[in-house]
Chains A and B, each alone.
Chain A
Amino acid sequence: MAVAPDKAPAKEAPQGPAPSRALGVVALGLARRFLTLREGSIIVVTLIAAIYFSTTVTNFLSIANLKSLIPYFAFLAIMAAGEVFVMTLGEIDLSIGALYLVTPFAYWKLTQAGVPLVPSVLLALVIAMGFGAVNGFFTAYVGIASFVATLAMLFFLDGLTLIVSHSEEITTPGTSVVHVATFAQVFGAGTYSELFWALGIIVILQIILSFTRWGLYTVATGGNRLGAAEAGINTRLVLLRNFVLCSLTAGFAGILEAVRTSSMSPDPSGSQSDLLLAIAAVIIGGTLMTGGSGTVVGALIGALFLGILTDGLVVKGVSATYEDLYLGIAIIIAMTVNVYVQRVRRGSGRA
């Protein structure tokens, strides 16, 4: 179904006259090239979801609704962008939900200690990176499976959040009426703030992944850990710094959301579902769980897909009870299309 609109004209082409046949060949070539993009299938699936909701829900494509869509996917895209690097290594970071939860509290504690707002944000992010370094240390140097090491970190940070916050909801510093200022506008509260951050982070991280040594070594380490080491790459350091990067993005997403909603609640269950959505966005986006191949742009589109789905179901008035059910079905359909398209890709010679 996803492929039909692209391929239909190309199939008719051979019967047509010469110019239109040439056109058909070009169209087929383009369709093939597009679908063989690592992100091709998820783009198709996302478009289908967008078209579905725009035809069944009035004003789905309105500016107002696009604005309301941003909070559904922007922070997820930021979390997913960092996770892409860890999953490209063939590892997984389960602590990003907990980092998303705890980093705003670190920020709050710092402001309470008298540190100005922006330095507090930066220091809180440094703390988040420190937790990432611990993840990386236990995975790369101690040799614990990342699944287990980051699972332990998840519980540790959830617990830490409850202790630090005394299990109470807290108003995010810098967002009270007195302070409504550039700070809050920049760090999440502005209408497009999160969108700009997400797009900026996606672009920068995709460039790092595709065009720098950092990315090359990440793919090499994920694709062939022993071979990369034999070639002289310090694979442990590659692991460590990508865990640090991953916790940086997760922590930053947490701060943006805390500022946007102007409150932070120490609720581990909410952040756990964000963790799973972020990982879903990464995988739906086309990053391989086995490592060696990843796409940050794909993760953005994966997050967008999940955002459109959640937002669409809400706008459509689907009962909240049914939301997760539909989400589950949609993910399995999206991934099925992905697997099918991946087979086409392998046949076309682009791994």
Chain B
Amino acid sequence: MPEQAFAGEHIVGLQTAPDDVLRVEHISKRFGPITALRDVNLHLRKGEVLGLLGDNGAGKSTLIKIICGFHKQDSGTMWLKGAPYQPKSVDDARAHGIDTVYQDLALVDELSVYHNLFLRRERVARPIPFLANREMRREARKALDQIGINIPHIDVPVARLSGGQRQAIAVARTVSSEADILLLDEPLAAMGAKEGGQILDLISRLKEEGRVSVIMILHNYAHVFATCDRVSLIADGVISLDKPTSETSVEELNEIIVEEYRRARQALLAEEAEAAKARDAAA
């Protein structure tokens, strides 16, 4: 199969560094007939920002969702700060210090900004566990101000906010958590240049503080080179490139993508030719 041959050529084996906080080894995942991840090896060093690249459907989001405990891999192991790591749930991953901004943002339109910010981390009063709304409002305001994103009203349902504001809230939710590993699935997708710049600045600032390590899915190479220390490229369910940003270039990344398209197209043409041949044989 041409598909197999392509993957075989480009697989990046397991690479490690002594200061890894997270290692992902030989992860595979299928959804019914679809193979999302075939054999993924990935590592994340302490304090670095890793850019995760790849075509649509390459398996980036699936990998993120396995690390954050939403999906469970079919095979493969993960290591967190040297210990075996297998999250039982999103909550469990969060308890291990891993928090996520999902591609779909995981916001509830009907709930207010501050309830969304604190979803699953609600502050409650004691001894009767009523929601401590005033406290959450205050802390939400503080968290948003720290990020520098302007959300004038935190009492309104998030349904009333712009795409960029919603995204900022999703990012704020993760950044303001106690997590030290952040997984960001396209955190800039719905943002304008100015808002996107603010989020990237925020990521850079967090990096300088040295508290967090970040895996970030991005599409815009300008963002990648501005923010990431290293890039990993997923293609066809495996990692096919893993390089420090300083050692690669827009041209190289583009070339890989273009090459990938060409191979995918060739595979498709070959498949069609085979199908046509089979039809002819049948006739």
* A contact set with B: CB distance below 8 Å: 207, 211-213, 216, 219-220, 222-224, 226-234, 292-293, 349-351
Give a binary string over B151-186; 1 marks a CB under 8 Å from any A CB, 0 the rest: 000001101100000000000000000000000000
CB pair B106–A227 under 8 Å, yes or no, is yes
CB pair A224–B108 under 8 Å, yes or no, is yes
Q: How far is the CA of A197 from the CA of B247 in the complex (A)?
A: 72
Q: Given known contacts A216-B131, A219-B108, A351-B159, what 13 new A-B pairs fall within 8 Å (CB)?
A: A212-B131, A213-B129, A216-B122, A220-B108, A220-B119, A227-B107, A228-B106, A230-B100, A231-B119, A231-B120, A292-B109, A349-B156, A349-B160
Residues of B within 8 A of A224 (CB): 106-109
A selection of 29 A-B contacts at a CB cut-off of 8 Å is: A211-B130, A211-B133, A212-B129, A212-B130, A216-B111, A216-B119, A216-B122, A216-B131, A220-B111, A220-B119, A222-B110, A223-B109, A224-B109, A226-B106, A227-B102, A227-B104, A227-B106, A227-B108, A228-B106, A228-B108, A229-B90, A230-B90, A230-B100, A230-B102, A231-B90, A231-B106, A232-B90, A232-B91, A351-B109
Chain A minimum-CB-distance residue to B132 = A211
Q: How far is the CA of A228 from the CA of B124 in the complex (A)?
A: 19
The smallest C-beta distance from A5 to any residue of chain B, in angstroms, reads: 29
Residues of A within 8 A of B129 (CB): 212-213
CB pair A227–B130 under 8 Å, yes or no, is no
Interface size for B (C-beta < 8 A) is 28
Chain B minimum-CB-distance residue to A207 = B130
CB pair B119–A351 under 8 Å, yes or no, is no
CB pair B110–A219 under 8 Å, yes or no, is yes
The smallest C-beta distance from A72 to any residue of chain B, in angstroms, reads: 32
Residues of A within 8 A of B100 (CB): 230
The answer to whether the Cβ of B115 comes within 8 Å of any Cβ in the partner chain is yes
Task: Identify the interface centre among B102, B108, B124: most chain A CB within 10 Å of its CB.
Answer: B108
Residues of A within 8 A of B107 (CB): 224, 227
* B contact set with A: CB distance below 8 Å: 70, 89-91, 94, 100, 102, 104-111, 115, 119-120, 122, 124, 129-131, 133, 156-157, 159-160
Residues of B within 8 A of A229 (CB): 70, 90
Residues of B within 8 A of A232 (CB): 89-91, 94, 119-120
Q: How far is the CA of A234 from the CA of B90 in the complex (A)?
A: 9
Residues of A within 8 A of B130 (CB): 207, 211-212
Residues of A within 8 A of B70 (CB): 229-230
The smallest C-beta distance from A342 to any residue of chain B, in angstroms, reads: 14
CB pair A292–B160 under 8 Å, yes or no, is no
Q: A231-B90, A349-B156 given as contacts; is B122 within 8 A of A223 (CB)?
A: no
Chain A minimum-CB-distance residue to B103 = A230
Residues of B within 8 A of A219 (CB): 108, 110-111
Q: How far is the CA of A97 from the CA of B1 in the complex (A)?
A: 60
The smallest C-beta distance from A163 to any residue of chain B, in angstroms, reads: 42
Chain B minimum-CB-distance residue to A226 = B104
The smallest C-beta distance from A97 to any residue of chain B, in angstroms, reads: 28
The smallest C-beta distance from A141 to any residue of chain B, in angstroms, reads: 15
Q: A212-B129, A232-B90 given as contacts; is B110 within 8 A of A292 (CB)?
A: yes
Residues of B within 8 A of A227 (CB): 102, 104-108
Residues of B within 8 A of A223 (CB): 108-111
CB pair B90–A216 under 8 Å, yes or no, is no
Chain B minimum-CB-distance residue to A213 = B122
CB pair A216–B159 under 8 Å, yes or no, is no
Residues of A within 8 A of B122 (CB): 213, 216
Residues of B within 8 A of A350 (CB): 157
Q: How far is the CA of A213 from the CA of B131 in the complex (A)?
A: 7
Q: How far is the CA of A207 from the CA of B125 in the complex (A)?
A: 14
Q: How far is the CA of A211 from the CA of B107 in the complex (A)?
A: 19
Residues of A within 8 A of B157 (CB): 350-351
CB pair A230–B111 under 8 Å, yes or no, is no
Which 4 pairs show the lowest CB-CB distances between chains A and B?
Answer: A227-B106, A230-B106, A232-B90, A292-B110
Task: Identify the interface centre among A222, A234, A349, A351: most chain B CB within 10 Å of its CB.
Answer: A351
Q: How far is the CA of A233 from the CA of B108 in the complex (A)?
A: 12
Chain A minimum-CB-distance residue to B100 = A230
Q: How far is the CA of A229 from the CA of B107 in the complex (A)?
A: 10
Q: How far is the CA of A216 from the CA of B91 in the complex (A)?
A: 17
The smallest C-beta distance from A218 to any residue of chain B, in angstroms, reads: 11
The smallest C-beta distance from A190 to any residue of chain B, in angstroms, reads: 29
Q: How far is the CA of A213 from the CA of B105 in the complex (A)?
A: 21
CB pair B104–A230 under 8 Å, yes or no, is yes
Q: How far is the CA of A219 from the CA of B105 in the complex (A)?
A: 17
Q: How far is the CA of A227 from the CA of B100 in the complex (A)?
A: 12
Residues of B within 8 A of A213 (CB): 122, 124, 129, 131
Q: How far is the CA of A22 from the CA of B115 in the complex (A)?
A: 35
Task: Identify the interface centre among B104, B105, B107: most chain A CB within 10 Å of its CB.
Answer: B107
Q: How far is the CA of A234 from the CA of B88 in the complex (A)?
A: 12
Residues of A within 8 A of B110 (CB): 219, 222-223, 292-293, 351
Residues of B within 8 A of A228 (CB): 106, 108, 119
Residues of B within 8 A of A230 (CB): 70, 90, 100, 102, 104, 106
CB pair A351–B160 under 8 Å, yes or no, is yes
Residues of B within 8 A of A211 (CB): 130-131, 133
The smallest C-beta distance from B10 to any residue of chain A, in angstroms, reads: 31
B119, B124, B131: which contacts A233 (Cβ < 8 A)? B119
Q: How far is the CA of A207 from the CA of B122 in the complex (A)?
A: 16
Chain B minimum-CB-distance residue to A215 = B131
